[in-house]
Structure 1
């Protein structure tokens, strides 16, 4: 490679080289290792630009540089920057000419690490890469890159800012509700620089209907150094309340601050806000606008592996899928990148509550004053940047920092704990005192992962965890399975996805529960985190293996989530619900990988996604099969619910319902009620299928469920034939016999990707009608429906 490559920015080095054909796609097996050299080199970005007003006050504003970079303007060194999470704004007044040259010299992080000399106390405890304030996943294979993938370059825009007399430096907005929510108060603290006699600060509030409802202006009072700071309070009478998704609407007000000279606006800052009150009355028990709200969501990963650049379109698609999955919350993991402003604006509009972590992951951190200052600067930037968003529910110091140290170095004193216990706590209490700050995830209790007093990460597959059945909050719930067959074959290839010599058996001689080739595409010991595949039929093909793992993953998540939603055992039905929320891990894949995500690298959901969707339904019917069989109703909707409940036994062998119980029920909002046991059915065959549904006063089914009393491996399922009708964007299905795990697939002239169905991989009983919306990018195509254990498929043509 010789000479310069023309490019637009933001763009990082790997994506530029891939576009130019200099490296191959690193998501292809073996190609990641082939481009390790990229981050082992230094890289230079050069840009020539004109300045329209060379004599005016000016700044170069770099929103995101990754990571170790020297900045030069017109041959002069301006600054060295060493933190990808914070912007750098450089005063270049008097240094600009009509024609200018900007050079960014990015240094290899590996050269930096090579020259480090760690204190003896850190060796074996703190990874050298942690001395760089850069995404930790750039140095590991956890997200799926093998052996790792280290990004470098410009990942956010660069601005030349010319100041015309006045500028706003910082706008701090605090919002509170008074007088029983009949009054909303917005407090502005605004700093700026520059002064012109008679200049004004203007403040305004625009209601959701786009009408200005209050405004105020005041003269700017200049300090001797030209920097000023002023406050203003505006009141909104009877503000519309912002609610989390599923509890009400999300009215957003627009607040504007303007610096004005002689009637001309010189600078402005516009934000969207929402009026809401959030109080945590006990660990993770949140009351929002005096309504108890539980958190049902997912923990995210970086959107993509090849770049840190933010992709708003991809983010919005994931948010669409999050809403379709009945979630009201998202955990922004400490190992992820900094999320773009567009994400939080969308979360505000959609009512998604955000668990926001600072950028730390697993284990100990440096404790030098210089390092702590960098981290504190990051936290201050994040809090100031995001605190006005009603979607931000609370702050968190990072992911598994204390727990990771306890796992790897039990009994050792934690290094760097002051960052979380003191520095971040001080930042949050000073800048955003009305929001909860959580030390770390997990944290609290006798040990970091104690489910009885804090949040917990589900390591119950490899660890015995006392109290894991009814935790206060599950911040991560992970089990491993491959994606759907089409995605799996796409990134593995048919030969590696199912080697010809593999028989599908798991014996004492087998190191892994799957073909050895699968292990190449997993990480973080994913083979130890498998779901209960022993409950499902042995596999003799790729399709049956993918189903076994996916169905087991879905089964595991369903059972855990339904238990958490119930939140208490059957022997204490009148007790309080213990579990305040649950987050599946992970939400999305950054690389093609076999791990625990709900959505794969290509944006395709599979069985676990839809199992979670049904388990997160606000109104949940759930069987609890143990010594007795119980039926519960969990109502996490915003309204009380009443209706007629039908509980039935279905015999799949004779294709008929054999018993029925009918009961009138009422369940208040926020309640989990044990409705009845099924002792009235007496003893019955384990081949029978449990079925229940709730009908409202209009005769509409508002919730339904079915379950087994034996494991799937013992069941024998009929060869169901489905009937399909497609009307507009809706598929309507019925079945002649019990249909287990009906899969809907779409095909638009050979394109099987980009389809999304409102529901999928669901069971259907005779007499039921299932209607499913067709979502996703396609406007036409062929829809196929097939129950997993049946050879019969039903097809229909779709066109919007």
Structure 2
């Protein structure tokens, strides 16, 4: 069997001046014991330079205010990673060094000999070193400063003001700006994935290009494996085996490997799977996965093996961005993700799974992997397969123009080929996209200017996808289509409707980004801003004609991309006179805005014209997660705490939705994006919070088919009524079980007065049961475990409650004990209870 020796331990790193040649003693001398006097720092990998220096106390945490600037010197130097390792004696075998992630401009040396130069962080490097290995070996990885590279790189004059110099390097754009929150920026560098030595035993699999499809009627699935490899031995065979989700062999094929193809060989195998179980997106069914293993054997002994898991599903795009899966129309309700961690490109699988848990809790079925994000690990896509999360996958480009030189295009093309071959077998992968805002950014910044680098998206990536993955849709860019790139009537659109007038924005085909700015929860905000800067002593909370920003000037230190211009409708809420009320105002306004937009998109058509198909095919909130402490538009903050609008999104994304549309008339809609038809009795009521009583009501039988959005009724029966009243509706099935509920206001919150509600709370194991004596506006649940207020997660939070309702909330966080507190925002009364799981 192929021998894989992990080389992740016993490394050392050292700073070097840019442009210096690596000295002979560095290349040929064992560095062991040289820490300290010679400046070598011990480490293991994956680990990038900044995180190593932080761990060693050599820099302060760059997430702290002002500390990022003090770290700029790190990426202005070269860094060398070095280690020694023992190698087995080779018996006519081939050996390879495999670097899964190098960031980014790297020279690699083995035993003093230059082995390779690597210049793309998104692809691995696998280098044959068969003739260079000794019993003891010295491996040196020289990471070059990207800034030193840019100083001497060829940069055409006609690119000035159009193409950022950092784009000369195939490296994350976010390493050179503050968009995600790094101040002024943080340029990562180093080894960010595993390193190994691979020794090939006679022959190996080089590539397994796997595809699958369902035949008409779904009575049979076809799996095609185009397997390439190298090496030969007498009795060599290639074997393809498919196992069902319960590990039963359902298909198998073997073919001999010819001796004529010893240097390289390619075989294509196609196997049929009878009556395959269908893989469904989250919320529509199960996610059965079949195991496809490709093995090379010599006289029955396995020499190498590649295992992938697939799911049989039929995907058709019947209209732009309108997907039908297994003959069921599926709307995409999700979020656009960012980099998991600001200080490093290293993958954190625990954090990724926590974010997927939160995504599922928010009733989402899809995730957009943004062109500005890092390369996501294989484990992420495996999880998405198991959970039924549909993936909108972008290539790694962001906002504006790109180099159009042939060498740069070739780098991008090879990168795309690697990505497509790596990910195409995943059933969760819905479609490919060339990048984020590349064309739109140029339209905004340089209207009328010819686009430089468009061939990458219009030709190169398109050809790669059509050649290697022809059954999947390729989207040129996000946004793209129509009279202009951001045209909501023809393609996907990014919602900047508070800063731009966008014709047709009310009913777009697809919102790929919906962003408004608000701070995180109070405890997170104080943790990274400090109380003094979060609410300066001389700040009144008022926004006047002389106010430069809609918040304290100090907040601008923690925002980016003109975040103060992307605020939600805070004018609908009371002015803030302290920090808690400011956090509430922005968070509640953000949640209010997202709720209204999402419910409108879910309805998908105006109440004045309720017939016909739903126009909007999906919606993605932006951003999903914070990579740094920042005031911007995310749902999950730097400390993995949900923002207030996270819960508004969760409720707006619930599969069966009741939604009021308050305008010239008041309408009530029912939207069913669950897998099954629903029917039951709808109760519509008016509640007067001043008298603490329901004053009018009616009921109605309701049926809504799966995938439909129906206008159920208007509220004309109530005639005129006070704007202080609260609209309330709920749908129950024949057994009286709640299917969906909603409530809404007729006036803006700034005009309303809310009672001082007292919350009743029972805690039973991992579940809360809550009720209220009066209308409770925005109940916040919080926890405390011996002073630890972080890591508490509640299934729902920041919700309203009416008298007579009983709400159960699961406790999902990491804590197993502590005190839980419930408090309505406008009430002075708190309710506490002891919690033990």
TM-score w.r.t. structure 1 length? 0.99
Decide which moves more: 212-221 or 750-759. 212-221
Counterpart contact for 1:45–1:103, Cα < 8 Å: yes
- 1:448-527 to structure 2, matched below 5 A, reads 448-527=485-564
The Cα of 1:216 is off from its aligned counterpart by: 1.8
Counterpart contact for 1:54–1:97, Cα < 8 Å: no
Q: Is it true that 1:9 corresponds to 2:45 in the alignment?
A: yes
- 1:406-417 to structure 2, matched below 5 A, reads 406-417=443-454
Partner of 2:65: 29
Counterpart contact for 1:717–1:789, Cα < 8 Å: yes
Of the candidates 710, 721, 726, which is equivalent to residue 689 of structure 1? 726
- 1:538-687 to structure 2, matched below 5 A, reads 538-687=575-724
Partner of 1:276: 313
Q: Is it true that 1:533 corresponds to 2:570 in the alignment?
A: yes
Structure 2 SS opposite 1:768: coil
Structure 2 SS opposite 1:783: strand
Partner of 1:379: 416
Q: Is it true that 1:215 corresponds to 2:271 in the alignment?
A: no
- Superposed CA deviations along residues 406-441 of structure 1, whole A, max 9, x for unmatched, are 000000000000000000000000000000000000
Partner of 2:22: none
Q: Is it true that 1:100 corresponds to 2:137 in the alignment?
A: yes
- 1:103-142 to structure 2, matched below 5 A, reads 103-142=140-179
- Superposed CA deviations along residues 592-614 of structure 1, whole A, max 9, x for unmatched, are 00000000000000211000000
Q: Distance in 1 between matches of 2:365 and 2:826?
A: 34
- Superposed CA deviations along residues 705-759 of structure 1, whole A, max 9, x for unmatched, are 0000000000000000011101111100010000000000011111110111000
Counterpart contact for 1:393–1:435, Cα < 8 Å: yes
Counterpart contact for 2:232–2:262, Cα < 8 Å: no
- Superposed CA deviations along residues 671-716 of structure 1, whole A, max 9, x for unmatched, are 0000010000000000000000000011011100000000000000
Counterpart contact for 2:336–2:623, Cα < 8 Å: yes
Q: Is it true that 1:743 corresponds to 2:780 in the alignment?
A: yes
- Superposed CA deviations along residues 537-561 of structure 1, whole A, max 9, x for unmatched, are 0000000000000000000000000
Q: Distance in 2 between matches of 1:108 and 1:650?
A: 65
Q: Distance in 2 between matches of 1:675 and 1:63?
A: 55
Q: Is it true that 1:309 corresponds to 2:346 in the alignment?
A: yes
- Superposed CA deviations along residues 625-668 of structure 1, whole A, max 9, x for unmatched, are 00000000000000000000000000000000000010001000
Of the candidates 746, 749, 759, which is equivalent to residue 709 of structure 1? 746
Partner of 2:181: 144
The Cα of 1:222 is off from its aligned counterpart by: 3.9
Q: Distance in 2 between matches of 1:648 and 1:304?
A: 47
The Cα of 1:223 is off from its aligned counterpart by: 3.6
- Superposed CA deviations along residues 91-139 of structure 1, whole A, max 9, x for unmatched, are 1111101000000111100001111232122111000000000000000
The Cα of 1:218 is off from its aligned counterpart by: 1.3
- 1:99-498 to structure 2, matched below 5 A, reads 99-224=136-261, 226-498=263-535
Q: Is it true that 1:755 corresponds to 2:776 in the alignment?
A: no
- 1:695-734 to structure 2, matched below 5 A, reads 695-734=732-771
The Cα of 1:211 is off from its aligned counterpart by: 1.7
Q: Distance in 1 between matches of 2:244 and 2:613?
A: 39
The Cα of 1:307 is off from its aligned counterpart by: 0.2
Structure 1 SS opposite 2:96: strand
Counterpart contact for 2:392–2:432, Cα < 8 Å: yes
Counterpart contact for 1:36–1:149, Cα < 8 Å: yes
Structure 1 SS opposite 2:520: coil
Counterpart contact for 2:310–2:427, Cα < 8 Å: yes
Q: Distance in 2 between matches of 1:589 and 1:157?
A: 25
Q: Distance in 2 between matches of 1:223 and 1:475?
A: 51
Partner of 2:111: 74
Q: Distance in 1 between matches of 2:269 and 2:325?
A: 26
Q: Distance in 2 between matches of 1:221 and 1:326?
A: 52
- 1:770-789 to structure 2, matched below 5 A, reads 770-789=807-826
Of the candidates 44, 47, 51, which is equivalent to residue 87 of structure 2? 51
Q: Distance in 1 between matches of 2:210 and 2:103?
A: 29
- Superposed CA deviations along residues 265-292 of structure 1, whole A, max 9, x for unmatched, are 0000000100001100001100000000
Q: Distance in 1 between matches of 2:396 and 2:753?
A: 49
Q: Distance in 1 between matches of 2:464 and 2:606?
A: 40
Q: Distance in 1 between matches of 2:75 and 2:157?
A: 27
Counterpart contact for 1:643–1:697, Cα < 8 Å: yes
Counterpart contact for 1:285–1:580, Cα < 8 Å: yes
Structure 1 SS opposite 2:812: strand
- Superposed CA deviations along residues 740-784 of structure 1, whole A, max 9, x for unmatched, are 000000111111101110000000000000000000111111110
Q: Distance in 2 between matches of 1:120 and 1:417?
A: 18
Structure 2 SS opposite 1:775: coil
Runs of 4+, deviation exceeding 3 Å = 222-225
Over 3 Å counting, the alpha-carbon distance change for 1:224 and 1:321 in structure 2 is closer
The Cα of 1:179 is off from its aligned counterpart by: 3.6
Q: Distance in 1 between matches of 2:579 and 2:320?
A: 44
The Cα of 1:225 is off from its aligned counterpart by: 5.5
Q: Distance in 2 between matches of 1:582 and 1:686?
A: 31
Q: Distance in 2 between matches of 1:64 and 1:597?
A: 27
Partner of 1:20: 56
Structure 2 SS opposite 1:595: coil
What count of residue pairs does the alignment treat as equivalent? Answer: 800
- Superposed CA deviations along residues 237-278 of structure 1, whole A, max 9, x for unmatched, are 110000000000000011100000121100000001000011
Q: Distance in 2 between matches of 1:734 and 1:427?
A: 57
Counterpart contact for 2:634–2:643, Cα < 8 Å: no
5+ residue gaps, structure 2, are 1-35
Structure 2 SS opposite 1:579: coil
